[in-house]
Structures are given as structure tokens and as C-alpha cells.
Amino acid sequence: MVDKTSKTWSGCPVRFGMSQFGDKWSFLIIRDLMFKGRQYYHEFMDAGEGISTNILANRLADLESNGILNKSKDPNKGSRFIYTLTQKGIELMPMMLAMMDWAEKYDAKTEVPRDFIEKLRNTPEELQQEILEHIPTPK
Amino acid sequence: MVDKTSKTWSGCPVRFGMSQFGDKWSFLIIRDLMFKGRQYYHEFMDAGEGISTNILANRLADLESNGILNKSKDPNKGSRFIYTLTQKGIELMPMMLAMMDWAEKYDAKTEVPRDFIEKLRNTPEELQQEILEHIPTPK
DNA sequence: TAATTTACTTGCTTTTTGCAAGTTAAATTA
DNA sequence: TAATTTAACTTGCAAAAAGCAAGTAAATTA
């Protein structure tokens, strides 16, 4: 799990990042929210990564308590909750895009759509704006 | 447009990133190599994060086998090894800088030098070049 | 050549994760 | 309106990983 107890995180930004979202599952949840349009518990479960239900619940709670995502009732279906990125979460986009740029370069198997990667490298601001417009926000 | 169907990105770049450096300790080691000038085993141990020696050895081996860092004998002291970033590792810099930018914004306790953060936000290319010039490379 | 330095490895305990089954609350169906 | 289903978890236990302390091995220094 992400370390929350270490007294010594004050100071370093990388250590702060790790304490807020510094594990595999958190990154994948943020990816789902930011690029895949997923916003329900079962959608994260069914994303195909193999996350366990207790771990998903734990990470969602951590990310919420860190102010990276927001949990609210689905107005159209009261038995569901909707998870969305907060502004703080949305602003992780440059980091995520930088990671994707790197991965596309070094992993032959990575399959980011061609026009996505071209926009990322040629007109990143435009791409970010476009993604932003498609990210659901809490109403 | 941004993909939301989850069918594409079968080789997901975020997942690839996680498989290559996706844990707290790996990020901190990369930070040490990239920004702190650390390059010896004992320097990572003494960085003050509290990493265990077996975990450090494991992460260094993983990062090396993933081609992110390079291990070689210290020509000046044969009982030491020198760890340096490869080109692949160096190219994680934009991601690391994006994380630092975010953390500086959201963590009151983060203490990135003011001119560093200003350069990061105003002339990022220049900053990257500057950092690059200070990163030790394998001889 | 004996002691020391540096970089690990090993064995054991504790913590975290993964897996399966169980629970709860809201919505749908009978 | 009672019974079933759906969605989002929680719980308990086994397995894996991390943390801790002590030990080892290859150079280097005395």
C-alpha cells in the first residue's frame, strides 16, 4: 500500500507523489478515470487488470481521502456510486502523458492510437484540452 | 479523439510503465540518480528513505534488467559499483518533472528550490538541458 | 597477511496482497 | 409488496512481499 505513516515526507515532491498515488493500482485507476471514461466500481473491476475487490476498495478510499478523486451517488441509479477526478487529480495529466510518451517509445507492444501519440508530440496543449473536455466531472 | 472503449491500448503504456518502474522505491532510486547525484549503493541506502538492503538490491537489479540503469565497476575503486541512468532512464525526466510540478502545487511542505520550480514552469527545455548536463553517464 | 570497506545475501518475522465467500442497500421483477 | 437481482463493498484466510538483523564475499588498506 501507499505509505502514509512516514514522518519524513515533508520536503521531497517525488516522495509526496508516492504517498498520494505511488502504487501500480492507483496509477491504473487514474488512467481509467482520465483516459478510459470509466467511473463505476464494476468498471474498474472489469478493466481486465486483475485487481482484487478489497484492493480496489482500499485504493479508491485512499485516492478519495487524498483529494484525487471524488465519490458521489449516481443520480440516475441510487445503488451506484460515481467516481470522478478532482481538479487535483486532473492535473496529474501531464505526468500521465509523459509516462505514455515514454512507454510508446520504449515498448514495442504499446498500442497508443497513432493520432493520439502524434498530437501528444506535436500539439500537446491541444491534446490535453481535448482529453479534458471528455473527462466527466462531479456535477 | 480519446479512446474510451478499452478495446484498444491492448498494450497499455501506463501498465508498461508500472511493470518497468511502478513502485515507490523505484521512483525514489530514479529520483536519486536523476536529481540528487547519487550513484553508489550506500548512497541510496543513506538517502534517508528507510529502504531495506534486500529491497534496494532487488530494485536495482530490476531497473538494470529493464534497461533503465546501468551498473559498472568504479574504475577508481574496484570494490564499488557505479549506478547510472541509461538513455531510457534519462528520458523519464519529463515524467518526473511533471510529478514534481504537481507536488509542488499540492503539497505545502514540498521544498523545491524556487528557481528550480520557476525554470520548470517558464523554460522547461532549458531546465531539462541543465539537469542533463549534471547527470553522470557511464564512462 | 590481517583488518576493513562495500555491496550485497540469507533467514526469519511482519505486513500486504490475492482470492473466495459473505453482507448490505437499492432497484427491479413477480 | 414480497422476492430476487444488482452493485458495491467487507471479511477471513492463505500466499506473497517487505522489513529487519545478521552473515558473506570480493576488493582495498594497514
* Chain segment A62-77, per-residue pLDDT in tens: 999 999 999 999 988 8
Residue A23 is nearest to which of B4, B23, B31, comparing CB atoms? B23
Helix (H, G, I), strand (E, B) or coil at A15: helix
Tens of pLDDT, residue by residue over B111-138, are 899 999 999 999 999 999 999 999 987 6
Between these two residues, A119 and B76, which has the higher pLDDT value?
A119
Tens of pLDDT, residue by residue over B49-93, are 999 999 999 999 999 999 999 999 998 888 899 999 999 999 999
Name the minimum distance, in Å, from the CA of B87 to any CA of chain A: 11
DSSP string, A60-94: HHHHHHTTSEEEEEETTEEEEEEEEE-HHHHTTHH
Residue A102 is nearest to which of B3, B67, B91, comparing CB atoms? B91
- Assigned C-alpha cell, B57: 538490491
Look at residue A49 and tell me whether its pLDDT is greater than 80: yes
What is the distance of C-alpha A112 from the center of its chain?
17
Compute the average pLDDT of residues A96-116: 96
Q: What percent of chain A has pLDDT over 90?
A: 85
Specify burial of residue A63 (Cβ count, 10 A radius: 0-12, 13-18, 19+): buried
Angle of helix B53-65 versus helix B24-35 axis, rounded to 10: 70
Tens of pLDDT, residue by residue over A29-47, are 999 999 999 999 999 999 9
Look at residue B3 and tell me whether its pLDDT is greater than 50: no
Decide: B39 and B33 in contact? Cβ < 8 Å: yes
Round to whole Å and give the CA distance between A59 and B70: 33
Round to whole Å and give the CA distance between B29 and B73: 19
| Predicted pLDDT of residue A105 | 97
Determine the distance between A50 (CA) and C16 (C1') in angstroms.
Answer: 16
pLDDT band at A137 (very low <50, low <70, confident <90, very high): confident
Q: Which residue is nearest to nucleotide C10 (CA to C1')?
A: B54
Determine the distance between A49 (CA) and C27 (C1') in angstroms.
Answer: 29
Chain A and chain B share a number of CB contacts under 8 A equal to 149
| Predicted pLDDT of residue A79 | 83
Ramachandran area for residue A67 (φ above 0: left; ψ -120 to 50: alpha; else beta): left
Determine the distance between A61 (CA) and D14 (C1') in angstroms.
Answer: 25
pLDDT band at A139 (very low <50, low <70, confident <90, very high): low
Look at residue A4 and tell me whether its pLDDT is greater than 70: no
